[in-house]
Chains A and B, each alone.
Chain A
Amino acid sequence: MRWNKLLRSGGLQRFVTRIFRPVWSRSLLISAPTLLAAILLFAAAPDKHLSVYSTAANYSLPVVQRDRRDYVGLLEVLEPLGRVSAKFDGQRWRLRYNNRVEGDFFVGKTRVRVQGHDAELPARFLLENGRGLVPISALASLLPRFLGGPVTVHEDSDRLFIGSIATHFTASLAGDNPPKLVFHFTTPVNPSVSTEPGALRMTFSREPLVAPALPTLTFGSKVIPSATYAETNGGAAITVSSPVPLIASFSADGRTATISPTSPATAQTVVAPPTPPAPAGIAVPAGPSPISHRYFAVIDASHGGDDRGETLSPTLFEKDVTVALARSLRQELESRGITVLDLRDSDATFSLDQRAYLTNNNRVAVYIALHATASGHGVRIYTALMPYGGDDRGPFHSWTTSQQAFLTLSQSAAADIASEFQKRQIPVRALTAPLRPLNNITTAALAVEVAPQGSDLMQLTAPDYQQLVTSAVATAIAADRDRLGAPR
C-alpha cells in the first residue's frame, strides 16, 4: 500500500533523483547497465555451435549443454539435407526423413528405434519446445541410419562430416631466398587470415578441412620452421610460425595458398582471401558441384575407435596408419579423376557389416580396404577367401558369400595392382585371406596390407613411402577404370 502511494505520487522518482543529484544522475543511470551488459557479453564464453559439412550444404547449428553433454536438434541437422518432419504423440517423437526413413525417440530414454531396428543413444533423448535433442556423440551412429551413408563426427571440435566431404591439404616449402610455404587444398578454400607476432593464422570456419597425418608439420627452415593444425568450436585453423612477419596470398581457384615473408613495413598486413566470407550460419553450397555424384571407389581405413588393429609400436597403432594411407590414396585417386568415398577419416568405430553395407549401398566400382603391419616387407594384395557354402535362395544372396560373383573381377584388379608394384620394384604378393568384409562386398573388393620395405617401422608413417604405395594402387585402378566401371 505504501509503495503504491509512493509510486502514484511520484515519490519514488523524486527519491531517485535526489540520490543521484547533482552530479551525473541520468548519464549514470543509462551508462551503468550498458557497461554491465558489455562486461557480461565479453566475459561470457563464445556460443558453441556444430559445423555440418555435406555435399548438399555446409551450415552451423547451435549446441546446447544438458547433463554436462553437448546436444543438438536432430531435425535441424537433417533439415538442409532432405525433406524432414517430426511429430510428438505424447509418448514418442517420430522423425520422418525423405518419406523413407522413420525413427522413434522416447523422451528421457536412451533407446531409439529407426526403421524397426533398436539402437542405444549414449545419453537420454530430450524434447524441449518441440525440438528433439540428441547428444552430439550419438550422431556418428544415428545419422547413417537416416542418410544411408557414412558420417564422421569430430566431437572435441563439434564438426560433423556427412559423406566423403573432407578437404585435405599438403604443405611444402618452395624456393630458398626467401622460402615460401605452399599449401595445396583438394577443394577451393576461403579462410580468414590474421597475423600476430611470430605467427600467421588461417581460420577455416566453413571448409571441411581435416588434419594431416601429423598435427604439426616441420619444414627444416629457419624462416618458416613449422605449421600446426588445430580444430576448435566448429572450425579449423592452420598456424604458421615464423620469427619474421608473413603474408598469405591465394591462387585464383582458391586451392593454393602461398605463405611468404614480407617486409617489416607490411609486417602487420592482413591479406584478404579472394572472396569475402559468407555470414556464419547460412547454408552455402559446398564445392563447385552441388549435384550428388556416384562414387567410383570406396576406401576403407581398417579398424578405428576401440579397435586399434595391430600394435605396431607402443605409440603407433595400425588404425592410425590406415587413416593416413587412406588420405594419401584418396588424393592419388582424385588427382586421376576418380571419385572416392572415404569410409573412415577419423578415429570413428565402424562395424564390418556397416562398412560392407555402406559400400554396397553406394554401388561403387571397387572397394579397397587398407591395412598396415610390422611383419614382412613390402605390400600384399588380398582378395576374399570365400567361406564354405552360402545359402543363396532364389534372387536372395547369402551375406557371407556376396562376393562370389565378383571374385574374378577382384582377382584381376589385384593382379593389375600387383603388377604395378612390380614395375616400381616394391616387393608384392597377391593372396587370398579370410578377411571381412571382403566376402560381403558386391563389387570388386580387395585389401592392401602395407609393411615397411626394410626393418624401419617408421617408414609406415613416412609420407613419401605412403605416397609410393598409394600412387601405385591409384595408377592401377585408373588404368582398370573401364573394366571396373563397366555395367554389371
Chain B
Amino acid sequence: MIPRHLLIGVAVLLIAVLGMSVYAWHMRGRVAAIPGQPAADTRALVPTFSGPTERATLFVAFDEDGSLRPRSAQIPLPTGRQQRAEELLSALLTIYLDKTSPHTLAPGADVRSVFLVDPGVAVIDLNSAFADGHRSGVLVEDLTITSLIHTLSANIPGVLKVKILVDGKERETLAGHADLTGFYDVTAVNQLSTQLQPVQ
C-alpha cells in the first residue's frame, strides 16, 4: 500500500513537469519568431541606406597595371561609424562586381559585416564566396586587402588595426598568399597603398 502523501507528492511533481514543458515550448516559439537570427543572416551588403549622400574616397585596385587608385564617390552614408564602414565597403564591392570591373571578384563575393571595436580595431567579415572564389597570387591578393583596408581607414578616422575574417572565422590566407591570421597595421597598409600608386 503506497502512502497517500507520496501519491499526492508524485502527482504534484507530474503537473509541475507538464507545466514547465508547455512554458518551454511556448518560449521556444517566441525566440524563433524574433527576426535577424545571426546564423540565418546571409544578407548581401548592398547599399541599403538611402539618406543624404557624402563624398568619400574609395581606393580601387586595377589589375592591368597592378595599381591602387583613389576614386571619389558620392555615397549615402549614415551617421553611425559601423554602418558607414559597411556602406563604404558595399560601394567598393559594387565596383568590383560590375561587368567592367578593373579587379574582378568572384560572383557572390560580399562583406558580411564590419565591426568597429575601440580602441582602433576594425573587423571585416567576408563571406566564403569572396575568399573561395578569389584569384590566387601575391599581387592580386595584396591589391584586394589594401583596397579594403585603405578605403576603410581613409574614411573612418581612428582605425589602427584591421582583422579580416571569412564567414566569421579566422582563415590562414585569402587565396593561398595574403596572410589573414594576424591584425593588419593600418599605417603599414597605407604605405603599401602609396607603393601601389600608378607610375606617372
Tell me the A residues contacting B by CB distance below 8 Å: 303, 307, 309-311, 318, 371, 373-376, 380, 382, 385-389, 400, 429-436, 439, 447, 449
Are A373 and B137 in touch, CB under 8 angstroms? Answer: yes
Judge if B55 is at the interface, Cβ distance under 8 Å: no
Cα–Cα, bound, A355→B184 (Å) = 22
Are A385 and B138 in touch, CB under 8 angstroms? Answer: no
Judge if B142 is at the interface, Cβ distance under 8 Å: yes
Q: Which of A307, A373, A432, A449 contacts B192 (CB 8 A)?
A: A432
Cα–Cα, bound, A311→B136 (Å) = 8
* B173 proximity list for chain A (CB < 8 A): 436
Judge if B131 is at the interface, Cβ distance under 8 Å: no
Are A431 and B177 in touch, CB under 8 angstroms? Answer: no
* A374 proximity list for chain B (CB < 8 A): 137
Show 8 A/B contacts (Cβ-Cβ < 8 Å), sorted by A: A373-B136, A380-B138, A387-B182, A388-B161, A388-B188, A430-B195, A433-B142, A433-B178
Judge if B49 is at the interface, Cβ distance under 8 Å: no
The smallest C-beta distance from A448 to any residue of chain B, in angstroms, reads 10
Cα–Cα, bound, A447→B176 (Å) = 14
Cα–Cα, bound, A376→B196 (Å) = 14
Cα–Cα, bound, A93→B89 (Å) = 57
Question: Using a Cβ–Cβ cut-off of 8 Å, how many residues does chain B contribute to the interface with A?
Answer: 29
Are A388 and B184 in touch, CB under 8 angstroms? Answer: yes
Are A375 and B179 in touch, CB under 8 angstroms? Answer: no
The smallest C-beta distance from A306 to any residue of chain B, in angstroms, reads 11
Digitize B15-39: 1 where CB-to-A-CB distance is under 8 Å, 0 elsewhere. Answer: 0000000000000000000000000
The smallest C-beta distance from B134 to any residue of chain A, in angstroms, reads 11
Are A429 and B66 in touch, CB under 8 angstroms? Answer: yes
User: Known interface pairs A376-B66, A433-B142, A433-B177. Does A385 touch B136 (Cβ–Cβ under 8 Å)?
Assistant: no
Name the residue in B139, B161, B177, B184 with the highest tally of chain A Cβ atoms < 10 Å from its Cβ.
Answer: B177
The smallest C-beta distance from B28 to any residue of chain A, in angstroms, reads 42
Are B177 and A371 in touch, CB under 8 angstroms? Answer: yes
User: Known interface pairs A387-B179, A387-B184. Does A449 touch B66 (Cβ–Cβ under 8 Å)?
Assistant: no
* B179 proximity list for chain A (CB < 8 A): 387, 434-436, 439
Cα–Cα, bound, A436→B176 (Å) = 10
* A434 proximity list for chain B (CB < 8 A): 142, 145, 178-179, 182, 184
* A429 proximity list for chain B (CB < 8 A): 66
* B177 proximity list for chain A (CB < 8 A): 371, 433, 435
Cα–Cα, bound, A380→B67 (Å) = 13
The smallest C-beta distance from A404 to any residue of chain B, in angstroms, reads 11
The smallest C-beta distance from B53 to any residue of chain A, in angstroms, reads 32
Q: Which of B137, B160, B185, B195 contacts A310 (CB 8 A)?
A: B137
Name the residue in A303, A309, A371, A375 with the highest tally of chain B Cβ atoms < 10 Å from its Cβ.
Answer: A375
Are B136 and A431 in touch, CB under 8 angstroms? Answer: no
Select from chain B the residue with minimum beta-carbon distance to A432. Answer: B192
* A376 proximity list for chain B (CB < 8 A): 63, 66, 139
User: Known interface pairs A373-B138, A434-B145. Does A309 touch B176 (Cβ–Cβ under 8 Å)?
Assistant: yes
User: Known interface pairs A387-B183, A400-B182, A434-B184. Does A310 touch B176 (Cβ–Cβ under 8 Å)?
Assistant: yes
Are B182 and A431 in touch, CB under 8 angstroms? Answer: no
Q: Which of A375, A385, A387, A436 contacts B139 (CB 8 A)?
A: A375
The smallest C-beta distance from B131 to any residue of chain A, in angstroms, reads 14
The smallest C-beta distance from B140 to any residue of chain A, in angstroms, reads 5
Are A432 and B188 in touch, CB under 8 angstroms? Answer: yes
Judge if B109 is at the interface, Cβ distance under 8 Å: no
Name the residue in B63, B139, B161, B195 with the highest tally of chain A Cβ atoms < 10 Å from its Cβ.
Answer: B139
* Chain B stretch 127-141: residues in CB contact (< 8 A) with chain A: 135-140
The smallest C-beta distance from B118 to any residue of chain A, in angstroms, reads 15
The smallest C-beta distance from B64 to any residue of chain A, in angstroms, reads 9
* B195 proximity list for chain A (CB < 8 A): 430-432
Select from chain A the residue with minimum beta-carbon distance to B182. Answer: A387
Besides the contacts A376-B139, A388-B188, what 16 more A-B pairs have beta carbons closer than 8 Å? A303-B176, A310-B135, A373-B139, A373-B140, A375-B135, A375-B137, A375-B139, A376-B63, A380-B138, A385-B188, A388-B160, A388-B184, A400-B181, A431-B142, A431-B195, A436-B179
Cα–Cα, bound, A449→B189 (Å) = 20
Are A435 and B138 in touch, CB under 8 angstroms? Answer: yes
Judge if B48 is at the interface, Cβ distance under 8 Å: no
* Chain B stretch 159-188: residues in CB contact (< 8 A) with chain A: 160-161, 173, 176-179, 181-186, 188
Cα–Cα, bound, A257→B188 (Å) = 53
Are B182 and A388 in touch, CB under 8 angstroms? Answer: yes
Judge if B191 is at the interface, Cβ distance under 8 Å: yes
* B138 proximity list for chain A (CB < 8 A): 371, 373, 380, 382, 433, 435, 447, 449
Cα–Cα, bound, A432→B184 (Å) = 13
Are B178 and A435 in touch, CB under 8 angstroms? Answer: yes
* B160 proximity list for chain A (CB < 8 A): 388
The smallest C-beta distance from B162 to any residue of chain A, in angstroms, reads 8
* B161 proximity list for chain A (CB < 8 A): 388-389
Q: State the 6 A-B residue pairs at the shortest beta-carbon distance, nearest first.
A: A387-B182, A310-B136, A388-B161, A388-B183, A388-B185, A373-B137
The smallest C-beta distance from A401 to any residue of chain B, in angstroms, reads 9
* A436 proximity list for chain B (CB < 8 A): 173, 179, 181
* B145 proximity list for chain A (CB < 8 A): 434
Digitize B104-139: 1 where CB-to-A-CB distance is under 8 Å, 0 elsewhere. Answer: 000000000000000000000000000000011111
* A430 proximity list for chain B (CB < 8 A): 195
Are B139 and A431 in touch, CB under 8 angstroms? Answer: yes
User: Known interface pairs A434-B145, A434-B178, A436-B179. Does A309 touch B136 (Cβ–Cβ under 8 Å)?
Assistant: yes
